[in-house]
Amino acid sequence: MNCSKKTNQVNLHPRGLQKKSIGYMPGLDGLRALAVFAVIAYHLNLTWMPGGLLGVSLFFVLSGYLITGILLKQWELSGGIDLKDFWLRRARRLLPAVFVMLAGVMSWVMLWAPERLAALKQEALAALFYTSNWYLIFHQVSYFESFGPPSPLGHLWSLAVEEQFYLFWPLLLVIGLRCCQQRKWIIGGTMAVALTSAAAMALIYIPGHDPSRVYYGTDTRAFALLVGAVLAMVWPSWKMNADLTGKKRLALDLAGSLGLLVILLMIGTTDQYQPSLYQGGLLLYSVAAAGLVAALAHPASYLGRIFGWGPLRWLGECSYGIYLWHYPVIILTNPVVNTEGLNLSRTLWQIGVSIILAALSRYLIEEPIRYGRRKYLRRRRSNLKWWQRPLAPITKISLSTLLMFLLLFVTLNGGMHISEKALAKSQVSQDPVQTAGQEESTARGAKATDKKTAIQGDEITIIGDSLMINVEPVLQKRLPGIVIDAQLGRQMYQAPDLISRLEEEDKLGKIVMLELGTNGSFTEKQLRKTLDSLESAVEILLVNTRVPKPWEREVNETLTKVAESYPNIKLIDWHLLSSGHEEYFYPDGVHLTQSGVQAYGEILLETLISDQMDGE
């Protein structure tokens, strides 16, 4: 995620040696651009790139390759590694941009959402010490499933994983280099640790459960970084020769193209709830990424020239800053409740603002701090007029911070107005016109129920989560005797045991409605297991979900697919019926206002009644 042309050009200053360089590999910066925009697409919930989160694994493989290359080259030149110099360079490279981003976000929150400041202070502190991933694990904050407004700092977990790698990997590598004379043992040991990490991910992961533990953990994500490290050991960039024969060059580009094809296919077809991703899929992806990196790092590669295209390369050079800024911009400018789907104009300016902030950060803060002021400029300074003198670093930092805050303030203030509008809509139930409409709808539903006396409440069982807790009074009033078992945080994998208990207690009616999926995804296998346990039910109704999380699509697609294969199942499309009705939802975009409770209850009642009429 580094943001400079020096990113993949290794500069060496070990123990007074003359400065040397491995050489700049422009194709790798182009690959960074692909990685960061995959992540942006994921955070924008673009349905055509459900696997955009895999861009983070691309960054991991790249970091493992480049950092290990730096360390191995230093060892070859001097017989040692200057750890102090390495860590100081990493700090100068990474910390300034993080400080500025945190200052901008915290300032905005302090002014416009002070109620969130206490929680964000803890996350900001974890970010400063690069422990965000473990903070989220120990505080049980799900990357995929948490309700309420998402944290604008939630993306910093990946930087924490990388920084922990920068801290511990050089120490382990030095030990290995000193203890093992033959490089093959170091390579074998690194591969063994990588496989252990991938195995830990597969063993800890439980299909259908929240995957955040294995997604965040340094122990379960280290294999991607180590795959890059192994590549640096067997494919050192400083030993590559640009003079390749035609067949060797073709083989190189074919290998890179195959890796690129695997990467694009997985980004376009997988998502975070696909079990295979955690059961070897991410390891396969990392190996494919290593193949692509190997091709792009070679000076003879035609593929490297394509990825080294100027605009793509510049975006890659700024990828670190873009990664830092894009998520706060998206989170703080999105409307509180959005039932309309993708807004193209908002999406484009969110991306544009992220790039502008990253460029400001790069040129006005990161590079001045990273490279400093050359001595000859300081010598000439006294001979220059005041208007000819370059700005001091502190002045650049102050001006750039002010510019970024103003830009952030202007764009985020617009998002704040949207939020206020959404909050106002959530109180629409107090509007006399809306209330009258609800009363009329309730009256119509009551008349329909009265006309159709064949349906009895004690024939119906509903199994649900927190949404059904709110709707229960409406249904109980209209269908006395209905059995509703709803629980906060309930998920699909808990349903079979609950169904068995209800059956033992003789509370399972001939009509069963399942409203699950609000709190997390589930596999097709888990859904079928639940449905097969309802063999005594004459009819089953499935209710899909509306939840502003990436797994909403996965839940609804699974429900639709499975419902089509059972003759006695009907799907209630709450997602479609609630489209365009922001007034149905509280600011978390999930839980229902009084208006939403009435609408939801009426939809369920009308479906139950119409099914009874159709049956006769």
Residues marked active site are found at 466, 588, 591
Please tell me the distance from the alpha carbon of residue 502 to that of residue 87, in angstroms, as a whole number.
60
- Show the DSSP H helices in 23-153 as ranges: 26-43, 55-78, 83-112, 117-128, 132-138
Query: Which of 43, 68, 257 lies closest to 143 in space, CA to CA?
Result: 43
Residue 134 amino acid letter = W
390 secondary structure, DSSP code: P
Please tell me the distance from the alpha carbon of residue 167 to that of residue 170, in angstroms, as a whole number.
7
Query: Which of 555, 544, 546 lies closest to 588 in space, CA to CA?
Result: 546
Query: Which of 336, 356, 355, 361 lies closest to 102 in space, CA to CA?
Result: 361
Query: Which of 124, 149, 108 lies closest to 414 in space, CA to CA?
Result: 108
Query: Which of 194, 173, 198 lies closest to 183 in space, CA to CA?
Result: 173
Query: Which of 278, 122, 140, 275 lies closest to 200 in space, CA to CA?
Result: 278
Query: Which of 599, 593, 602, 601 lies closest to 425 in space, CA to CA?
Result: 593
Please tell me the distance from the alpha carbon of residue 309 to that of residue 404, in angstroms, as a whole number.
28
Q: Residues 6 or more apart from 583 whose CB is under 8 A from it?
A: 425, 426, 428, 429, 434, 593, 595, 596
Please tell me the distance from the alpha carbon of residue 534 to that of residue 238, in angstroms, as a whole number.
64
Are 485 and 513 contacting, i.e. CB atoms less than 8 angstroms apart? no
Residue 74 amino acid letter = Q
Please tell me the distance from the alpha carbon of residue 199 to that of residue 283, in angstroms, as a whole number.
10
Burial (Cβ within 10 Å: 0-12, 13-18, ≥19) of residue 469: middle
Query: Which of 340, 468, 330 lies closest to 411 in space, CA to CA?
Result: 330
- Quick one: tokens of 54? 């895999």
Query: Which of 614, 613, 578 lies closest to 449 in space, CA to CA?
Result: 613
3-state SS, residue 540 = strand
- Quick one: tokens of 208? 């259908």
Please tell me the distance from the alpha carbon of residue 113 to that of residue 59, in angstroms, as a whole number.
32
Please tell me the distance from the alpha carbon of residue 290 to that of residue 233, in angstroms, as a whole number.
12
Please tell me the distance from the alpha carbon of residue 306 to that of residue 586, in angstroms, as a whole number.
48
3-state SS, residue 7 = coil
Residue found under tokens 């978390």: 588
